[in-house]
Amino acid sequence: MTQYITVAADDRVEAKNGVIKLHGPEAFAGMHRAGRLAAEILDALVPHVVPGVTTQELDDLVYKLTVEGGGTPATLGYRGYTKSCCISINHVVCHGIPGDKALKDGDIVNIDVTPIVDGWHGDTSRMFLVGDVPLKARKLVDVTYECLMLGLEQAKPGNRLGDIANAIQRHAEAHRYGVVRDFCGHGVGRVFHDSPEVIHAGRPGTGVELRPGMIFTVEPMINIGRPDVKILEDGWTAVTRDRSLSAQFEHSIGITDTGCEIFTKSPGGLDKPPY
């Protein structure tokens, strides 16, 4: 059974045992600021995501942009993670660790950033196309963005998490793509990964009912092939088991009286490629 609790803006305790937090205007304002910085960072990366740049160079840039924007990267030191963002290339599903690897022509790349601003976490990711990308890969990226936005259309009071999940799953599977089950969206706020778990495949009319004040991410990972993933030896990098290409977009949102507020929309209109 779901229990909803109204939390004060200074609450920093992770919700447990099916408890769902309902946040007030101060939290929405805080998430708006954090989400805007997150989106600005991704906007600023656009000219740098080119063949030859290393993922470490991009991570350094994310660090600099985060700090200059008055934030700190939530991932830095998070459960032993030591980078300022995640960069996931081609068949990497999520949690790719920046390093020596250079981007090459034809790559599709997800960059996921989470600046903390005044204690609030702005969590968002987008796909980037490196140089000349084959149509098949561009199609995956387009459909994955559509999956996210179709999911968000269902994010309104009275609907359930299963309605968001089903909208995503139906669109992905209509294109014969696989929806990753091993990673989910999550409640977000002063806590990075909070309740509820936001699934990306499921049945309509099921799961937690959405109420005004809920704040969470939606971040579908869609594979050209099977949904199955495996984690590499580094303990973080998730890849498709069949090595098929994978794409992801993520927004942080808050449920309002009539629908949802997207905290992480691009100020520059750069929500999806081509940029």
- Which residues bind to ligand MF3, rule: CB under 6 A? 75, 78-79, 81, 86, 95, 112, 114, 123, 219, 236, 250
Smallest gap from residue 174 Cβ to ligand MF3 (A): 25
Nearest to 129 by CA among 140, 114, 120, 118: 140
Give the integer Cα–Cα distance in Å for 64 and 73: 10
Give the integer Cα–Cα distance in Å for 145 and 32: 21
Q: Which is nearer to ligand MF3, 101 or 175 (by Cβ)?
A: 101
Give the integer Cα–Cα distance in Å for 267 and 253: 15
Smallest gap from residue 50 Cβ to ligand MF3 (A): 23
Angle CA 229–233–236, to nearest 5: 60
Task: Judge whether 207 and 199 are in contact, CB under 8 Å.
Answer: yes
The total of other beta-carbon atoms located within 10 Å of residue 17's CB is 7
Q: Which does 81 bind (CB under 5 to 8 A by kind): ligand MF3, Co ion, none?
A: ligand MF3
End-to-end CA distance of the chain: give it in Å, rounded. 44
Q: Which does 275 bind (CB under 5 to 8 A by kind): ligand MF3, Co ion, none?
A: none
Q: Which does 136 bind (CB under 5 to 8 A by kind): Co ion, ligand MF3, none?
A: none
Give the integer Cα–Cα distance in Å for 156 and 219: 17
Smallest gap from residue 95 Cβ to ligand MF3 (A): 4
Q: Which is nearer to ligand MF3, 166 or 217 (by Cβ)?
A: 217
Task: Judge whether 273 and 41 are in contact, CB under 8 Å.
Answer: no
Smallest gap from residue 219 Cβ to ligand MF3 (A): 5
Task: Judge whether 185 and 250 are in contact, CB under 8 Å.
Answer: yes
Q: Which is nearer to Co ion, 14 or 242 (by Cβ)?
A: 14
Q: Which is nearer to Co ion, 106 or 262 (by Cβ)?
A: 262
Q: Which is nearer to ligand MF3, 236 or 275 (by Cβ)?
A: 236
Angle CA 9–43–215, to nearest 5: 25
Q: Which is nearer to ligand MF3, 133 or 164 (by Cβ)?
A: 164
Q: Would strands 72-73 and 85-89 be described as parallel, antiparallel, or unpaired?
A: unpaired
Smallest gap from residue 33 Cβ to ligand MF3 (A): 18
Smallest gap from residue 77 Cβ to ligand MF3 (A): 9
Q: Which does 95 bind (CB under 5 to 8 A by kind): Co ion, ligand MF3, none?
A: ligand MF3
Residues lying near Co ion in the complex (CB under 5 A) are found at 112, 123, 217, 250
